[in-house]
C-alpha cells in the first residue's frame, strides 16, 4: 500500500515525475537498441536492460555483435547512474514516509497531563 501511495505522490511532484520519465526512457532506449542491434525480441531486450542496469547480471544474455557491445558500454555507464538515482530517491521517500508515520503514532500515544498548579 505504501508503494502505491509513493508512486502516486511521485507522479504529482515534477522532480520525481522527471526521474520516473528518465528511468522509463533509459529502459526503453536499451530495449529498442538491443532489439535492433542484437535481434532479440522486445521481452528479452527489456529483460537484459533491467538486469544490466540493476547490476544483477545473470549472464544468460550478452551482446554478441560489436555494435551491441559498444552500445552496452555506453548504456551501462549512463544507465546505472540513473537507476541508482531512482532507487535512492524511492528509498529516501519511503524512509521519510516511515518516519512521518512513526511520529504520528508517537503523537497519538502521548498522554496530555492536566495542569497541577491550580
Q: Which three cell numbers stand for residue 67?
A: 555494435
Q: What is the DSSP string of 89-113?
A: HHHHHHHHHHHHHHHHHHHHHPPPP
Could you read off the pLDDT of 5-42 as tens digits, one per residue? 777 777 787 778 888 889 899 999 999 999 999 999 99
Sign of CA dihedral 77, 83, 86, 87: negative
Reported pTM: 0.72
Of residues 40, 94, 29, the one with CA closest to residue 64? 40
Answer yes or no: are the C-beta atoms of 16 and 22 closer than 8 Å.
Answer: no
Statement: 2-108 belongs to CATH 1.10.287.70: yes
What sections of the chain are H helices per DSSP? Answer: 2-12, 14-38, 42-53, 66-109
Question: What per-residue confidence (pLDDT) applies to 15?
Answer: 73
Of residues 60, 48, 53, 56, the one with CA closest to residue 77? 53
Res. 111 pLDDT band, cuts 50 70 90: low
Length of the chain measured in residues: 118
Question: What per-residue confidence (pLDDT) applies to 20?
Answer: 84
Amino acid at each position: 500500500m505504501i508503494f502505491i501511495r509513493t508512486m502516486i505522490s511521485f507522479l504529482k511532484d515534477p522532480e520525481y515525475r522527471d526521474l520516473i520519465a528518465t528511468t522509463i526512457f533509459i529502459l526503453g532506449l536499451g530495449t529498442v537498441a538491443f532489439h535492433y542491434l542484437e535481434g532479440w525480441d522486445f521481452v528479452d531486450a527489456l529483460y537484459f536492460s533491467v538486469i544490466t542496469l540493476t547490476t544483477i547480471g545473470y549472464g544468460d544474455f550478452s551482446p554478441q555483435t560489436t555494435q551491441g557491445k559498444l552500445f552496452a558500454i555506453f548504456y551501462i555507464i549512463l544507465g546505472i547512474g540513473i537507476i541508482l538515482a531512482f532507487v535512492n530517491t524511492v528509498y529516501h521517500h519511503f524512509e521519510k514516509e516511515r518516519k512521518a508515520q512513526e511520529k504520528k503514532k508517537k503523537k497519538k500515544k502521548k498522554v496530555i497531563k492536566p495542569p497541577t498548579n491550580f
